[in-house]
Amino acid sequence: VASVRETVERIGMPWHKLFGALESAASEDIALSGIEPHPKTGTVVISGNGKDYLAALTYVLNLGRQEALSRVQLVRHEGTSNDPRGPVASPISAAWRGARQ
């Protein structure tokens, strides 16, 4: 029963608002690799890889301008190569407006 309830909660979430926000903030410098919604807390973790740290910060700024999201923050950044100016993996945490169950 709990699994069914969780599935129903996830189906009823405002996915169109989240995907619209992600599309509006999109950048050629960021490749998304995951979206982890947390309905009970009304938050979402967005994972991706940026061409560099500045690209990751710019993406966070662009997400923060979206109506569907608030409290957008870069959780951490990790270099994916030996070059300090190279690609970075960057999970981003945000409050997802209207998602809390």
Instruction: Give me the pLDDT at residue 49, please.
Output: 86
Distance of CA 19 to the CA centre of its chain: 10
Residue segments in the chain with a per-residue pLDDT below the cut of 50: none
Instruction: Give me the pLDDT at residue 82, please.
Output: 62
Instruction: Give me the pLDDT at residue 100, please.
Output: 60
In the numeric block, which tokens belong to residue 71? 């409290």
Whether the Cβ atoms of residue 62 and residue 25 lie closer than 8 Å to each other: yes
Instruction: Give me the pLDDT at residue 29, please.
Output: 92
Q: Specify the residue for token string 């410098």.
A: 29
Q: CB-based contacts of 65: which residues, under 8 Å, 6+ apart?
A: 25
pTM greater than 0.85: no
In the numeric block, which tokens belong to residue 70? 């608030």
